[in-house]
A = this chain, B = another copy of it.
Amino acid sequence: MKRTAIGIDFGGTTVKSAVIDDGTVVARAAPLQTQDFVGPEVLLPAIRATLDLLREAHPEVSAIGAGVPGMIDSINGRVHQLSNVPGWEEVALRALLEEWTGLPAAIDNDANAMAYAEWLFGAGRAGVNVVCLTLGTGVGGGLILDRKLYRGSWLGAGEIGQMTIDPNGVPGRYGNFGSLEKYVGNAQIAQRAELLYRAAGLTKTLEECSPLALEFSAKGGDIIALQIWEEIGFAIGITLCDIVWLLNPDRIVIGGGVGRAGELIFGPIRRVLTERTMKIFHENLTIVPAMLDNDGGMIGSAALALEKRDALAD
């Protein structure tokens, strides 16, 4: 059977769609800016129009998948709530996709979709137990355990960004205190950098403290930027230590903006894991950057949709 599906990736700022053929993007639709389509009643028709365009060019499409940030009921195909996007509550997204297209559809958490894509086609390939971490505005994760996407009892598993770094730290957006996201989310990194620069008598705007700017500064030898990356790597390393002691994975994939900083964070992360776990846990553990970049969510969603289609066909 044809392995072609449409993958949709609901981001905080854009909704991207593409036709995916067995893990490869073969056609991209123009991304929809969420600020131009506020609320499901305007965004959903725009998505429908996008799907129509993609299917006209690629009639071989046989399933539709969507990766969505927030609390998703992947079994019943409902979006409980979208992270960072108001107005999206209790949307039966899967039923809509199926009604519009007459094709089988699947929806899942965006970090799960990304993890699934990296495991099938990217940096997690051939892993048995793979932990995927995505770093950006929010910090998310997905788990492949015993060669299957692990979703947990109420489909909430993989919330790595909500795990604790400091039990006495500041409250996070979902209720925990001192969680990883509060140390390595893009906004938190910028605030911390701005503070350290200010303490050193330097004035920088928050925009000048983005992960990309800090990467550039650190590679140019900026001591404060280097310290920031050490701190970020340490915090991520501490959380990954806990995951390694608990799950003993063979592979960890790190994606998103911060993940692209390369050895600036991979160095400190590996050091923390080597110092703080037993040899049997870290000596054969592979820690690698994500390979599919921003396409992971679409590729994974398409793959999950094909899996759903095949399960229905059985």
Contact = CB atoms under 8 A, between A and B. Distances in A.
Q: How many copies does the complex hold?
A: 2
Interface residues of A, number: 49
A56 interface: no
A143 to B, nearest CB: 8
A2 to B, nearest CB: 30
Given A164-B238, A241-B164, A152 B278 contact: no
Contact of A246 (B159, B167, B175): B159
Contacts of A164: 238, 241-242, 276
B154 A280 contact: yes
A157 B242 contact: no
Given A174-B278, A277-B176, A248 B128 contact: no
A173 B178 CA distance: 26
A242 B179 CA distance: 9
A159 B245 contact: yes
Interface of A: 71, 80, 128-129, 141, 143, 145-146, 148, 150-160, 162-167, 174-177, 234, 238, 241-243, 245-250, 275-278, 280-281, 284-285
